[in-house]
Structure formats: C-alpha cells, structure tokens
Amino acid sequence: MREELRQYADDAYDIVRHAANEIGQRVPGTDGEKKLHDFMSEKLGALGLSPKTEKFIFAPRSSIGGLPYAGWGGIIIALLLALGMMFVSTISDFGVGVLFFASVYAAALWTWLIVSVFKYKTFFDWCFHQEISYNTYAELLPEDGKYDYTILLSGHTDTSWTLKHSALRSKLNPALIFVKLGIGAVSVVSLTLLAWASFIVVMILNFGKLDNVDGLLKAREILYYISVFGAPVFMAGSYLLTLYNEKNPRVASPGAMDNATGVALAYEVVKYFKENPDKMPKRCRIVDVNCGAEESGLRGSLNFVRNHKNDGMLKNAYHINIDSIADKDYFEVINGDAWLCPHFDKDLEGMFVDAMKEAGIEKPGKMANPVGGCDSTPFMKAGVKTITFAAQNPTMTNYYHTLYDVPERFDADTVGLGFDVVLRVIDKIADHENNK
C-alpha cells in the first residue's frame, strides 16, 4: 500500500469496525441493514454529496436464503413416498394418489430450486414473506459537471445468516459443514428420483396393458423396501439441509469481511477523489453504490439496474464490485459466476491482475465463483462492463458466513492494499477511455 493512502485505509477499517461491532448483524431486511445504509448516507452527505436511498420490497427466503425449505421438502417427500408405497397394493387408488402428489410436489420443489435458488430469478418471490431493503448511492461529478463515462463501485450492506452447523462451534472443521450439507442435498435428490420412479412403475402396473409384468413387480418391490425402510435415513439426511442457516438473527454474521470491507472501500474511493480533485479521472463520473439484500439472491443489485437502465446511469459504464477484502494472501479477481452467467469483462480482469502486481501482490489470483452469485452479474446482464474484486480464502473457513467474521481477524493494511489496487484500476480505466 502506498503510504499516502494510509489515512484512507485507516478510515475504511474504522467503518468496518463500526459496521461489525457497533451495528452488528445486518441480515437482509432487518434494522441492522438499514442502520448501515443510514450511516453511509450520513458519511456521503458529509462529503458534500447528495446521497439517494431507494427502497425495494423483496422476499429474504425466496432464493438461497430459503435453502432450508429444500430440506423440509425432502422430509415431506419421504413421508409421502413411504405412505404411498405402503398402501399402493392394498388401497391402490389411495396409494397411487399419494404417489402422484409426492411426484408433483417434488417437481414443484425442484422448479423453485432451479429458478430461484440456483438462478436467482424473482419469479417465485410472491410466494414468500416480504421485507424491505435499500440501495443507497451517491455521484461524484467532475468540477465542470461534464462526463463521458461512469465508474460504479459497489459493496453490499447485508450479512449472511450464520450457518447453523457452525453457529457456536469455532473449532469445527468447516469442510464437515459442507459434507453434512452435501448429504442433505443427495438425500433430497434421491427422494425426488424415487418418487418419480415409484409413480411411473405403479402407474404402468395399474393402468398399463402388458403381457409380462414380472420385471415391473420386482422393481416395485425394490422401490417399496427402499422407500419404506429407507425413509428414516433419507429424512435424517434431509434434516441436515434444514440447518443451512440459523433463523435467529442475533447469531447472524457480523459481516466484517463480507462485506463491510466492500462498502468501506467504495466510499473511500469517492472520498479520495473528492479530497483530491486533481487526481479525478477527466470526464468521469464516479458512483458509490451500497447494495442491499445481496445474500438473498442479489436483490439489491437487481433492483438497482432495473431502476437505472433507462436514465443514463449505466451508459458507457464500468462496474467494480468489491466483496470481501481481508485475507492478505488471497487477493484475486472474480471473473464469473458459474451458476448464473458467463465470464465477466476481460479487459477489467486484465486491469486488476496488472494492478495487483503493481501494488506488490506476488501471486494475484483469478477464479470463477463456483457457487452462488455476486453483484457483478446483474450489471453484466444489463450490458455493463463489470468485475468483482476480493481478498478471501477460497477454501472453506470458520469465518465464512459465521459469527467469526470479525474485524479483529484482519488489519487496516490489508484493506488499504485493496484500496490501492482499486485506485490503480481506475487509472487504467481512465487511460483506456483517453486512448479511445
């Protein structure tokens, strides 16, 4: 980190400590999240800017936040499957009806999982409890008010529900948490396939006209034993998935790394150029965007791009999403979301790799986000050149989405190094624009 940037690094770290220690948990749609929006709005206003806060309604549990519902869904399928198979021979109409309901229920469950949990679509949001979240942003314009391009910097204000498996167990191996979740996922998938296979076999036996049904009878017998006697095992496995997150917000993540660091650094960039107008890129507008409800399926960034797609905010724009700057040995550029979209902007990726090397980071990383999504995705889909910047250990840790994501775990120097990198990238964007 360049020494002249230290005051901004220290200020950013103070914001992180205030967010994590004074405000605390900021689960999407809660008072804690709103308090950070209010705090950042006051700080932006103190710079002489005019921050704007946009309210939006969303469903916290409609996307990945509702993954425990998949576990309960698996338990329901197991009960229906066992009941249907037990009565399919004695009271055939009742048994077939129960199996039909189990199959339809499983199909509906997986439709929601694919559309909302895996793809982050909002189609099923109306089915879930609604809350209010916010986006807060402020624009820094050139002194003459004229600009040809925009650089948007974003961080998300909310924190995650703590993984219930690790809520009170700091010494638990984080890998074991995801082994349990994997068992839960396998159980739900297995139950779905069993429900569909059982219904198809029973329907053919009851209503098909076949000369030889010995094979199908044997298949039904096997499915019967798996469904009835395996039900407790599948229910136990599904129950592990219901523990994906802790419902009690008092033990939610305080979100120092994820993502008070991103919120703080986006603000410090605006503050830096406000206090050093001679270093402001020419013909450039810089916008600090505080996105809400990221942990609920990118709802804040989705609403931001929807609200501003036609007002010029996204025209000839570059978007830098800053998410989790804390692990000094793991600075990296996130170049895509495997679940949601293809690669982010290649030019910005290259700029970040070069900037990290120039800042003294020996081994800058590049990776695609393997699970879930980040706030770059809605911007990319809106046609904005975007990238995500992080410094987070990519392997599972006991502080990822848990009580242990606290500022005492890292230092201002690491945050400041991230600040240094972002400023270098902004200079590279300016050079790119000037050389067009």
361 plus 407 within the same structural domain: yes
Domain end (from 242, 274, 307): 242
Q: Do 216 and 298 lie in a common domain?
A: no
pLDDT confidence tier of residue 389, bands split at 50, 70 and 90: very high
CA pair distance 72, 242, nearest whole angstrom? 6
Whether the predicted pLDDT of 248 surpasses 70: no
- The CATH number of residue 399's host domain is 3.40.630.10
CA torsion, ordered 250, 52, 139, 419, to nearest 10 deg:
-10
Number of domains within the chain:
2
In a domain, 414, yes or no: yes
The pLDDT value given to residue 420: 97
pLDDT score, position 179 = 80
Residue 126 lies in a domain: no
Give the model's pLDDT for residue 247: 65
In a domain, 127, yes or no: no
Does some domain include residue 253? yes
231 Rama sector, left if φ>0, alpha if ψ -120 to 50, beta otherwise: alpha
Q: Please give the share of the chain, as a percent, with pLDDT higher than 90.
A: 70
User: How do residues 314-372 score in pLDDT, each as one tens digit?
Assistant: 999 999 999 999 999 999 999 998 888 778 999 999 999 999 999 999 889 999 888 78
Give alpha helix (H) positions in 47-173.
68-87, 92-112
Task: Output Rg (C-alpha) for the chain, integer angstroms.
Answer: 25
Task: Look up the domain containing 98 and give its range.
Answer: 66-119+168-242
CA–CA dist 283, 299 (Å, integer): 31
Neighbours of 394 (CB within 10 A): 15
Q: Same domain, yes or no, for 323 and 261?
A: yes
Distance CA 325, CA 392 (A): 6
Same domain assignment for residues 176 and 145: no
305, 326, 292, 273: which is closest to 384 by C-alpha? 305
pLDDT at residue 174, rounded to an integer: 64
Average pLDDT in the 134-163 region?
93
The domain boundary, picked from 214, 242, 270, lies at 242
Residue bearing the bigger pLDDT, 142 or 436: 142
Same domain, 274 and 149: yes
Asked whether residue 266 carries a pLDDT value surpassing 90, the answer given is yes
pLDDT digit string (tens) for 66-88?
888 999 999 999 999 999 988 87
Whether 95 and 148 map to the same domain: the answer is no
Which 3 state secondary structure label does DSSP give 53?
strand
Instruction: Please name the residue that has the structure tokens 């996105």.
Output: 291
Do 49 and 178 lie in a common domain?
no
Q: Is there a single domain that holds both residue 34 and residue 81?
A: no
Return d(Cα 328, Cα 110) in angstroms, integer: 39
Indicate the residue among 215, 242, 269 that finishes a domain: 242
Helix or strand or coil: residue 157? coil
Q: 227 and 200 in one domain?
A: yes
Bridge partners for 386 per DSSP: 319
Q: Is 361 part of any domain?
A: yes
pLDDT 10s digits, 16-52:
999 999 999 999 999 999 999 999 999 999 999 999 9
Asked if residue 347 lies in contact with residue 432, where contact means CB atoms within 8 angstroms, the answer is yes
Residue 368 lies in a domain: yes
232 in the same domain as 363: no
With respect to residue 231, please indicate whether it lies within any of the assigned structural domains: yes
- pLDDT of residue 396 exceeding 80, the answer is no
Classify 290 as helix, strand or coil: strand
Same domain, 337 and 276: yes
Could you tell me the strand order of the sheet in which 284-291 lies?
52-58, 131-140, 284-291, 149-156, 317-325, 385-391, 331-337, 365-369
- pLDDT of amino acid 164: 62
Largest distance between two CA atoms of the chain: 88
> Do 225 and 264 fall into the same domain?
no
Report field, pTM of the whole predicted structure over 0.75: yes
Say if 124 falls within a structural domain.
no
